[in-house]
Amino acid sequence: MKPWTVESLSLAGAGVVLALAAAVAVAAVSQLRHIPFDVLALVAAMAAISVAVLLRIRRLTLSRNRTHALLLESQGVVRHLVETAHEGIWQLNLDGKARFANQRLAQMFGCSRQALHERPMGEFLGENPPQLLATLRDGSTPAGSTHDLCYRRGDGRRGWAIASSRPLFDGDGARSGTLLMLTDITERKEAETQLAEVQRGLEARIKLRTTELIRSNEQLRAEVGSRQAAQRALALSEQRLQEIISTMPVALFLKDPTSRIVLMNKAAEEQWGMSFAEVAGTRASASFPPEQMAKFLADDQAVFAGRTLQVIEEEVWNAVRNTSRQVQTFKKPIFGIDGKPQSLICMSIDITERKLAEDQLQSSYRRLRQLTEHLETIKEEERRRIALDIHDDLGQNLMALKIDVEMLHARTGERHPQLRKRVGHVLDTIDATIRAVREIINDLHPSTLELGLPAALEWMLEQFEQRSGIACSLKVSGDPSLRLEIRRTTAIFRIVQETLVNILRHAEASQVEVCLRLQDDQLAILIADDGIGMQPGDAGKAAAFGLRGIKERIDAFGGELLIDSRRGNGTTLSIVMPAGAGTSAMAPG
């Protein structure tokens, strides 16, 4: 049975009064001659009062229904803001256990929202100082202050977040729990770590940091009071909503289905360089360049058509700074019960500094690659110069020494057999030295490189087969007469040479096959062995040493490297790069 309310009691009382009045009126009519006039007047007054009471109750009931409808609409807006927030929202009870968590927080922790219910805060934030956790749980942190926290996801991985908290109170003013707001900064932490590693690798050349600051967004879920205090609860909920929107550090603005601006917070005004009063109820077409305005409208219609949250990167003109800023905008369409669009909730984050940092990082990568390429060129030129010097100086001196020793060996004859035998040993030593010098010259700069890539690879495979005992084969397809620039030829020669060294050291192979395809626009190299393949743990070592050097050489020429390795079935390296053929093939190196 439903409890009696003030309205139902009033209606019942009024009904009783009307019934009594009707009864008296009927009795009066039947015995009109015996009732005094003042009694009849009293009955008429009571009937009039009853009608007035009924009309008053009706108006109060209609007003209460309208107020309740407005309250539900306000709660819907707050709920949409909570669900579309970029931050994790966590409501705790007095014991520090979860009472509510939005979808973003569940994504951060790697579990479902139902799994977060009634779980203590320490299960996810237990690695932080106990004093800090107690401060956050009590909601006693100063207004506007934030803290860096580490948390553990459901799969054991570690993440980072910026956290802020505030206490929650019920309708009687008693503290009912704590509201935590977590902004995930894991990507920023990882980006900072990667940037630090790059800075160490480039000898502190890169000094810019990728900054992406996402301030915590404070959002409150209003407690629904009793029906008697519905209007007061609605006013309080609207006041809290206005405070949240006005204090959010992220630009927030709302549009209607025709892209007219109906709400802007302070951060949005600063991002656009204009006040809400200037653009309220308009599309702000006069405040943005035509091409930007056309893109805004097209994106809004696409979001309504998609009916889901969309993240869009765009340029926004700032009238105060007189420049365009790169922003990342989150757009969430809101639809009514009838399925028609009602509004568009938009949150915009300025990523201009992050984009500049990314561009500068890419520029640093390009400069480093150019420097590496230049160093390789200098190294090859120095090898060639040393090889020529050894050939011209040491080679000629050894040849002259050999001629003199041969003459001495011929003149000793039979008169000095011991001396002749000794001179013979010297000749053998000189011949071994000449062969060693030739091998050194070929290692520094093989003369076969001047004959073209196919000839150089054929010579190298023959030498490798003789030294290692591994059977080698070379297949050339396409245009064998195609002449490559000497720098590209040398780089490919060194790539194959490094690959053969890796095969000899790690693969335990008995056969190596090299396929070279030469075309006007590109060349392809395939190196396959029948070894044991890459073992667990070898991939990282190879990437750190041999394969990393090979990949750097390939990247310098805009090529691609693919590795197919199966345990026990050998390894295949596939390299594709532009041919770069032309008149510079025989340019001096």
**Among residues 350, 384, 416, which one ends one of the domains?**
350
Asked whether residue 64 is assigned to any structural domain, the reply reads: yes
Structural domain span for residue 539: 452-589
**Among residues 51, 79, 107, which one ends one of the domains?**
79
* Cα 356 from Cα 437, distance rounded (Å): 53
Residue-wise pLDDT tens digits, 441-498: 666 667 667 777 888 888 888 888 888 888 899 898 887 777 777 778 888 888 888 8
pLDDT grade, residue 34 (50/70/90)? Answer: low
Beta pairing, strands 511-518 & 471-478: parallel
Q: Are residues 257 and 183 in the same domain?
A: no
Structural domains counted in the chain: 5
- Percent of the chain at pLDDT > 70 equals 77
pLDDT grade, residue 588 (50/70/90)? Answer: very low
The two tokens of residue 477 are 């397809």
Look at residue 297 and tell me whether its pLDDT is greater than 80: yes
Instruction: Give the residue-averaged pLDDT of 356-383.
Output: 74
pTM, 2 dp: 0.37
Residue-wise pLDDT tens digits, 97-111: 888 888 888 888 888
Closest CA to 100 of 110, 115, 90: 90
**Which CATH number does the domain housing residue 322 bear?**
3.30.450.20
Q: What is the mean pLDDT of the chain?
A: 76
Lowest mean pLDDT of 183-192, 379-388, 540-549, name the range. Answer: 540-549
Asked whether residue 240 is assigned to any structural domain, the reply reads: no
Dihedral angle over CA of 224, 225, 227, 229, nearest 10: -130
Look at residue 381 and tell me whether its pLDDT is greater than 80: no
Asked whether residue 139 is assigned to any structural domain, the reply reads: yes
Asked whether residue 230 is assigned to any structural domain, the reply reads: no
Q: Are residues 380 and 324 in the same domain?
A: no
Cα separations (Å) of 221 from 45, 67, 176, 365?
50, 18, 13, 48
pLDDT at 2: 43
Residue-wise pLDDT tens digits, 199-258: 787 776 766 766 666 766 666 665 656 677 677 776 777 677 667 777 777 888 888 988
Asked whether residue 34 is assigned to any structural domain, the reply reads: yes
Q: Are residues 12 and 91 in the same domain?
A: no
Instruction: Give the residue-averaged pLDDT of 573-578.
Output: 87
Residue-wise pLDDT tens digits, 504-547: 888 888 889 999 888 878 888 898 888 887 765 554 454 445 67
pLDDT grade, residue 351 (50/70/90)? Answer: confident
Q: Are residues 523 and 572 in the same domain?
A: yes
Asked whether residue 317 is assigned to any structural domain, the reply reads: yes
Lowest mean pLDDT of 166-175, 340-349, 435-444, name the range. Answer: 435-444
Asked whether residue 366 is assigned to any structural domain, the reply reads: no
**Among residues 389, 411, 445, which one ends one of the domains?**
445
Q: Are residues 321 and 274 in the same domain?
A: yes
Residue 254 backbone zone (phi > 0: left; psi -120 to 50: alpha; other: beta): beta
- Percent of the chain at pLDDT > 90 equals 2
Q: Are residues 175 and 92 in the same domain?
A: yes
Asked whether residue 237 is assigned to any structural domain, the reply reads: no
* Cα 101 from Cα 109, distance rounded (Å): 11
Q: Are residues 267 and 147 in the same domain?
A: no
